[in-house]
Amino acid sequence: MSSTFTHQGFTLWLTGMSGAGKSTISDELMARFRAVSAKVELLDGDVVRTNLSQGLGFSREDRDTNIRRIGFVAELLSRNGIIVVVAAISPYRAAREEVRARVTNFVEVHVDCPIEVLAQRDVKGLYKKALAGEVGNFTGISDPYEPPVNPDVHVRTDLETLDESVGKVWSELIRRGLISQ
């Protein structure tokens, strides 16, 4: 990557079920952005929940409140020229669309992977427990996950390498003129 890298402020929103690869892809994107000295921040769903949304549960209302809070912070940062990478399950389509409507330069990435593969990857055994009815409000099992109807980028982490998935995202950012190198 050359030293002529430039960027606009934008929000790159990675949505997908637990274990699909949102954090892995966002970590690689963050490394690429930092390698070219981009102004970038990561809003990881788990970290935000601990620090900004502490006390919220997993009802639909609480999940939507959490997404709105993440969206608010992303909007503030991106309108000030910062690249914002969001890695959050964000299970409900309406909440994601609400954020998209507020945030300029919003790019939605669906990090997709079949439940069977997610269950195999799950070292904590949460999918197995959720499928057995032992865990309530588990996204994609006992609570809905509404995948994007028309995401800006769709990656399949069960079929693509990390480099292929990240490359698709990077290419879309270049195509939109949000980054250049």
Residue 137: phi and psi, rounded to 5, are 50, 40
At 167, is the secondary structure helix, strand, or coil? Answer: helix
Q: Given 53, 90, 165, 180, which residue is catalytic?
A: 90
90 is catalytic: yes
At 10, is the secondary structure helix, strand, or coil? Answer: strand
Q: What is the CA radius of gyration of the chain?
A: 16
Do 158 and 114 meet the contact criterion of CB atoms below 8 Å apart?
yes
Residue type, 162: L
Residues designated catalytic? 90
